[in-house]
Amino acid sequence: MLKKERYKHFVEYFSKNQPNAVTELHYNSPYQLLVAVILSAQCTDKRINQITPALFERFPDPESLAASSAEEIFPYIRSVSYPNNKAKHLEGMGKMLVDVFKGTIPADVNQLQRLPGVGRKTANVIASVIYDQPAIAVDTHVFRVSNRIGLTTNASTPLAVEKELMKFLPDEVLGVAHHWLILHGRYICVARTPKCGVCPLTWFCRYYERTHTETALLKAEAAKVKKAKEAAKNKKLKVISKELAKRSVDKDI
């Protein structure tokens, strides 16, 4: 199947079935989303949603964050991954927001990336979700699922995936496509063993095509037989060498 066709089916399927997909992070303002996305790096949205109510109550805006210190922030985020670094990032981010951006979250991806703790992925999320800009953030789910489905070809870095998705996805679905890919990766096309048995995308997924065609299944079966034969051979060799060792000990006695 041509890549263009995969994109067509991908957009058609999700536009029909998940037209309003959104982030699972809880937030009520651009500031809150920025904080939540920074905290969500290498952590689950569920965990972030558990700790942000208390955090936002204590630090409701950039000004209160700017007036705080990493030591003050730490207790509120101690249960997320890398709390020390993230506390420092939040302190620096609050200060820069107030000192440089007058308390307003910038819309420009390059300006956003000047903020401590904000990389390209976070900047793209803010640009897309808050400012409705044509941007797509590539996290681990987006990276993996795009590759598996075949929306990308040999894209080995998040930036390469981003460029390819930007090139082939229509502008009007760029923002929502990020959530389609994340949610699909989180619940169906999971990292270790994708749940292809319940996936509605099998008919245009490149990974499925490669792993479930007759040739692929025959190859997998042949590899299994070969492995079993090698294991049996190794087992036999072990028994023989044990027997020989025993005989030589008996002889010595």
CA distance 22 to 180: 8
Closer residue to ligand SF4 in complex, CB, 28/215: 215
Determine, following the binding rule CB under 6 A, whether residue 160 of this chain makes contact with ligand SF4.
no
Angle 114-24-62 from CA coordinates, rounded to 5°: 35
DSSP SS3 for 179: helix
Active site annotation includes 132: no
Determine, following the binding rule CB under 6 A, whether residue 188 of this chain makes contact with ligand SF4.
yes
Catalytic residue among 4, 46, 95, 121: 121
Interface segment toward ligand SF4; rule CB under 6 A; list 7-15, 162-170, 190-198, 231-239: 190-198
Q: How many residues bind ligand SF4 (CB under 6 A)?
A: 13
Which residue from 121, 139, 141, 125 is spatially nearest to 176, judged by alpha carbons?
Answer: 125
Residue numbers 192-251 binding ligand SF4 by CB under 6 A: 194-196, 199, 201-202, 205, 207-208
Closer residue to ligand SF4 in complex, CB, 195/236: 195
CA distance 180 to 200: 13
Smallest gap from Cβ 105 to ligand SF4, in A, equals 34
Q: Is 43 annotated as a binding residue?
A: no
Catalytic residue among 16, 45, 46, 139: 139
Contact 181, 134 (CB under 8 A): no
Active site annotation includes 250: no
What is 116-177 written as a DSSP string? TT--HHHHHHHHHHTT--S-----HHHHHHHHHHTSSSS--SHHHHHHHHHHHS-GGGHHHH
Residues with active-site annotation: 121, 139
Question: Which residues contact ligand SF4 (rule: CB under 6 A)?
Answer: 148-149, 188-189, 194-196, 199, 201-202, 205, 207-208
Binding-site sequence positions: 189, 196, 199, 205
Binding-site sequence positions for [4Fe-4S] cluster: 189, 196, 199, 205
